[in-house]
Amino acid sequence: MKRFLILLFSVLLLTSCSADKEKKEKVEFPLSMKVESFEGINQDGKQVDLSKLKGKVWVADFVFTNCDTVCSPMTANMAELQRKMADAGVDARLVSFSIDPEQDQPAILKQYASGVKADFANWDLITGYQQEFIESFANKSFMAPAAKLEGSNQYVHSTSFYLVNIEGIVVQKYEGAADVPYEQIIKDIKSLQ
């Protein structure tokens, strides 16, 4: 009987510790920026808007296909994140907003992302809005720069990946051009699901 009581007490203690540990692992994110409504078309010419992403966790970035610097590494890193998410069994959307919608037509975006072996099943590369809109949208919704450089075909933009929760709130950002914290992003996605 004494052994039974000790065993019972041990099980209760371990259960209590596990419950405490689960409570401690609840992630508190540093950001809280509401993504404003948008409408665009993806690489397949299909309409994508905020309502289609509500209820899903997603990771966003801002790129353009004529970029001379960071966009190619960012897009390759997003493709690597996609592969790592698949390996980990993590279900989330990836969204790349073009900040050069005039140049970046759907077929161009598709060809660009195909170069890094993108899987379009859960990745939308979005265009089809006005330049003024995407600049304002990036600034307001993500507190990210997005502007054309005077006298150039290049743009200033963020190199971050942004984590958006199921309510459409940006909760975290990560380096997207180099030293991407893939495991942390996957862990954070899981915590939101």
pLDDT in tens, 166-178: 999 999 999 999 9
Q: How far is CA 85 from its chain centroid? A: 11
The rounded distance, in Å, linking the Cα atoms of 6 and 124 is: 56
pLDDT (tens digit per residue) in 5-62: 444 444 444 444 444 444 435 778 999 999 999 999 999 999 999 999 999 999 999 9
Cα 82 to Cα 15, 105, 121, 170, 185, distances in angstroms? 35, 23, 10, 19, 11
If one compares 10 and 94, the residue with the highest pLDDT of the two is 94
CATH superfamily for domain 28-192: Glutaredoxin (3.40.30.10)
For the segment 178-188, the average pLDDT, to the nearest whole number, is 97
17 labelled ligand-binding? no
The percent of residues in the chain predicted with pLDDT above 70, rounded, is 87
Sign of CA dihedral 46, 47, 52, 58: positive
What is the side-by-side order of every strand in the sheet holding 33-34? Answer: 33-34, 169-175, 160-164, 58-63, 93-98, 123-126
pLDDT (tens digit per residue) in 100-124: 999 999 999 999 999 999 999 999 9
For the chain, what are the domain ranges?
28-192
State the Cα angle at 64 between 60 and 105, rounded to 5°. Answer: 100
67 labelled ligand-binding? yes
- Specify the pTM: 0.85
71 labelled ligand-binding? yes
